[in-house]
């Protein structure tokens, strides 16, 4: 699956050395030039340099307005920007509009504030794009049995401690949100069906994994 990248998740993963998460789960990664030049370069020159290396190696594609014109979709991109401008700030706006315009399956962002882009896409207020935060990618690794629940917690803390000193995320709270999002009772039909397909592909017993997660969360609570 292909994805549009937001600035925050790139900074968090590259600062913590966990950028392999996005390369593992997505076939093609795109970032609009506005986020690359105007946001990332200003917010984290260190990450900008590291990501530029991956861009030069072809692992991430930077999309310019000229590219959109050449693809014949610039007017559609501008239309989506107008439609969503009341919902998001500039960076998020470009990232979500790019995903919709290019028909990208996923939007990767750690902007999980209330009414932010992640929540908006989880609630399917904007269709055809599924959001993932870094901790949801860790959750997918847990489901596929690449890592244990304890290792998932450790990797979560590595990301937050190295990239979120001012406002670190809480593991237990985030995992409860993930459990709720991908549940039959509380999640959307889209998300529940997607996670079931993912588990089928990896021969995962989803109920057993969720029991293990809930037992662990009760121990650390």
Domains, the chain, ordered by start: 2-132 (3.40.50.1010), 135-220 (no CATH)
CA-to-CA distance for 18 and 132, rounded, in angstroms?
15
Q: What pLDDT score was predicted for residue 127? A: 84
Q: What pLDDT score was predicted for residue 124? A: 82
Angle at 193 between CA 3 and CA 187, to 5 degrees: 90
* Closest listed residue to residue 140, CA positions, set 106, 93, 114, 113: 106
Answer whether 104's CB lies under 8 Å from 47's CB.
no
CA-to-CA distance for 88 and 70, rounded, in angstroms?
26
Taking phi over 0 as left and psi of -120 to 50 as alpha, with beta for the rest, 150 belongs to alpha
Q: What pLDDT score was predicted for residue 158? A: 96
* Closest listed residue to residue 219, CA positions, set 153, 159, 144, 160: 153
pTM summary value: 0.95
Per-run averaged pLDDT (10 residues), the chain, 221 residues: 96 97 97 97 97 98 98 97 88 94 95 79 87 97 97 97 89 96 94 97 97 96 72
Alpha carbon distance, N-terminus to C-terminus of the chain: 35
Q: What pLDDT score was predicted for residue 24? A: 96
């Amino acid at each position: 699956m292909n994805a549009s990248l937001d600035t925050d998740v790139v900074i968090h993963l590259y600062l913590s050395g966990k950028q392999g998460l996005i390369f593992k789960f997505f076939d093609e990664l795109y970032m609009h030039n506005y986020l690359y030049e105007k946001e990332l370069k200003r917010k984290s020159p260190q990450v900008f340099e590291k990501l530029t290396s991956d861009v030069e190696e072809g692992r991430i594609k930077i999309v310019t307005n000229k590219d959109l014109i050449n693809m014949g979709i610039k007017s559609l991109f501008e239309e989506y920007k107008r439609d969503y401008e009341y919902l998001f700030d500039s960076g998020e706006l470009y990232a979500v509009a790019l995903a919709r315009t290019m028909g990208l399956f996923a939007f990767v962002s750690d902007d999980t504030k209330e009414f932010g882009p992640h929540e908006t896409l989880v609630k399917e207020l904007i269709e055809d794009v599924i959001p993932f935060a870094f901790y949801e990618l860790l959750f997918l690794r847990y489901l596929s049995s690449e890592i244990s629940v304890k290792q998932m917690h450790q990797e979560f803390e590595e990301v937050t401690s190295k990239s979120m000193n001012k406002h670190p995320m809480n593991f237990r709270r985030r995992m409860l949100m993930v459990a709720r999002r991908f549940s039959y009772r509380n999640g959307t039909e889209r998300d529940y069906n997607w996670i079931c397909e993912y588990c089928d592909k990896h021969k995962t017993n989803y109920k057993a994994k969720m029991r293990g997660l809930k037992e662990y969360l009760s121990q650390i609570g």
